[in-house]
Amino acid sequence: MIHDIASVCTYCGVGCDITAQVEDNKIQKIYAQSDGYVSQGKLCIKGKYGFDFVDSDQRIRDARVKKEFIDKNFESMPRELQARSKTLVALDDTWYKANYEFATSLAAWKLATIKEEYGRYSFYASGGARTSCESGFLLQKFTRETMESPNIDNCARVCHAPSLNGMAATIGEGAATNPYDDIYETEFMLVIGSNTTEAHPIVANRMIDAARKKTAELVVCDVRNIQLGKFAKVEAVLPYESNLLFLNAIAYVILKEYLYDDSFIDTRTKEFESYRDSILDDPYANPEFFRSLNGYEQLADQIPYIARTYAAKKSMIFWGLGITENLDGSYAVMAIVNLALMTGNIGKVGAGLMPLRGQNNVQGTCDMGCLPYYGPDYSKPKEEGLKTPDAIDAMLEDKIKAMMVMGEDIAHIHPNQNKINKALENLELLITQELFMTQIAKKSDIVFGVKSAYEKTGVYVNAMRRLHLSQPLVENNLPDDWEVLRDIENKLKGDFLFNSSEDVWEQVRVEAPYRYGGASYKKLEKHRSKGMQWPVAKVDTPRLHLESFRTPDGYGYFKYNGYQLRGQVKMLHEDGGYDKFFLTTGRILIHYNNAAQTIQTPKLKEKHSEDILLASIEDKDKIKTKQVMLKTKYGQTNPLTVKFVKTIKTQTLFCSFHHAKSKINYIFGDESDLNTKTALFKSLEVEIIEVNENQEC
């Protein structure tokens, strides 16, 4: 008998409602209801077909312990663990298959040993954005209370940490201000640094719909021509690392032409005058500066139009990692907020700010306190911990000796992989909770196979702050992430007295009362089809900042940051050109992040079995082989197949990073956003090494 079960998609931050047809505990089909609140009855190719991972024979369906770890630690183990380790059954040449109770006991013993020998700061944990809020909450609680370490982080470090930083500094809240459907209420959409049709396609559907029906004008800004640009009134192609330059130029026009909203500024904001004077005195803020950049002169004409239209209409700004993964990512976000504050385009229906989050629960994970400088509900923790790049350095310095990873492939998606590999080798214990033997799982000492999002109950929060209580589509006997944490903790202290995910959630409501105090399981079950947007009290809150901002005094603050001339822009301005290539990276529609789940679906794997390097058709004379390797001082990729396209500017390149075999992230270094250490993934000067067909690599 076929059952229809409603839940939420496991992939991107859009958080689409899904319905699964399940027969004999196996998913037969996934689709969206025609009245789906987020999905609008449509799913992307991943959401629709990418469920084969659930039954994949590659799933980790046990606990595993590395043989080498047993050999190294055998003499120092308690006698009971020594005896039990002798009964372990070999899975292959590297791993033992372990009883779950033994694996949790072994983990607890080694964690306690490391803490006693090296101190509480020797522990670091990361993850949570791929699992539920309940599990993320317990991960930070385990780190801070059980291990007494402040060192907790999540994958927002490589994506939207600058959005949180920039928005919190200006309006006191680092989340989207409006629901997706306000796209139908707005008159103007500015999309910058977001390849929305690829990364957030169900949001893009709304944008395209509004643009086609002419209810809203669309402007798209990116370093290359993208699909969404075909529906735009203006498509502005920007130089690499020029977001802040571009946004300050928009502000310059608004300020110079007195297009700002005096009433909103006077009643809702502070520090406008000093900000205005700084922009008008900034030599790089005048749009005419772009006339000095060969190949980008048209921006000098496009910017005034964009500025005037944005200021005159009810407007929304959408952005993605094209904004945040830059040296001035946080400053660019502040510049975006400045535009909204000066024009009054915030705190209204159809007017606001939309950072398009990446992971299915990265918003919720940050809300839970999986950040070194925030506790649950963005409270100030007793002690600030290390960000992931700092934790990597601490591993190399032998200061961090134990690491716990929950659903984050730090050995694939983070930059400077040669450095990370060396750092991981210095650990005495690496514990991973995963679905598959990802790159980080392969490097681990103890691996716990856990439930996927389609096999458990839990709360997920999407990019518009929408809480969705998922329910299992199928059943299995694997532990949930939070259960692994509880069971290890119970062998260390015994304070985690949780018997269900709802028990954990009730504690979330206590420790994160502003956002989640009113969001009981009962209420979330009642609103499962639509979800609820935090903060949730008696009712939810679709729009933020209607009357005041979340700053201590309720005012929005203008923050000026000047553009620092560098990279491609500096070369174009001072020399008129260059003989180098610049690379940017990003996602494609077919796969998600490290592709661990999507690659299990043959239909998806066949469509994108390798990362393809896109180059300008104008550069065919410069790249003469079918495959090339990219090289920097940090490392080198494996051979990449080149595809020449018309959508990329000459001497610039684009490549996805989904396949570990490509080694794309081996060529990025430690350069990062100044405020958050979010990696500079969006602009990298690379050397091209041609690969001949018979060449050995």
- Supply the pTM of this predicted model: 0.97
- Nearest Cα neighbor of 131 from 429, 424, 364 is 364
**The pLDDT of residue 696 is above 70:** no
pLDDT of residue 15: 95
Going edge to edge, which strands form the sheet with 217-222?
234-237, 217-222, 188-192, 315-319, 352-355
* Predicted confidence (pLDDT) at residue 68 exceeds the cutoff of 90: yes
pLDDT band at 426 (very low <50, low <70, confident <90, very high): very high
Residue pair 340/376 in contact (Cβ under 8 Å)? The answer is no
Domain with residues 63-159+360-533, CATH architecture = 3-Layer(aba) Sandwich (3.40)
For β-strands 466-470 and 458-461, DSSP reports them as antiparallel
Other beta carbons less than 10 A from residue 435's beta carbon: 25
> Please, which residues have CB within 8 angstroms of residue 381's CB and are 6 or more apart in sequence?
144, 150, 369, 372, 373, 374, 375
Looking at the predicted structure, is the pLDDT value of residue 113 above 50? yes
**Confidence at residue 594, expressed as pLDDT on a 0 to 100 scale:** 86
When mean pLDDT is compared across 184-188, 533-537, 591-595, the lowest value belongs to 591-595
Which has the minimum average pLDDT: 57-61, 170-174, 194-198, 597-601? 597-601
User: Please, which pLDDT band fits residue 589 given cuts at 50, 70 and 90?
Assistant: confident
**Percent of the chain whose pLDDT exceeds 70:** 99
Q: Domain coordinates of the chain in residue numbers?
A: 63-159+360-533, 161-355, 569-691
Q: Are 111 and 350 in contact (CB under 8 A)?
A: no
pLDDT band at 694 (very low <50, low <70, confident <90, very high): low
Q: What is the CATH architecture of 161-355?
A: 3-Layer(aba) Sandwich (3.40)
| pLDDT value of residue 697 | 47
Q: Does residue 25 have a pLDDT over 70?
A: yes
In the block, tokens 């020449």 appear at 644
Q: What is the mean pLDDT of the chain?
A: 96
What CATH number was assigned to the domain covering residues 569-691? 2.40.40.20
pLDDT tens for residues 636-664? 999 999 999 999 999 999 999 999 999 99
Q: What is the pLDDT of residues 534-578, one digit of tens each?
A: 999 999 999 999 999 999 999 999 999 999 999 999 999 999 989
Cis amide prior to 287 (ω within 30 degrees): no
- The residues, any chain, with a CB within 8 Å of residue 22's CB and separated by 6 or more, are 2, 3, 4, 5, 28, 473, 474
pLDDT at 593: 82
Q: In the block, which residue shows the tokens 């990265």?
A: 362
How are beta strands 217-222 and 188-192 bridged, if at all? parallel
For residue range 372-396, what is the model confidence (pLDDT) as tens digits?
999 999 999 999 999 999 999 999 9
Confidence category of residue 592, pLDDT binned at 50, 70, 90: confident
Position 695 pLDDT exceeds 60: no
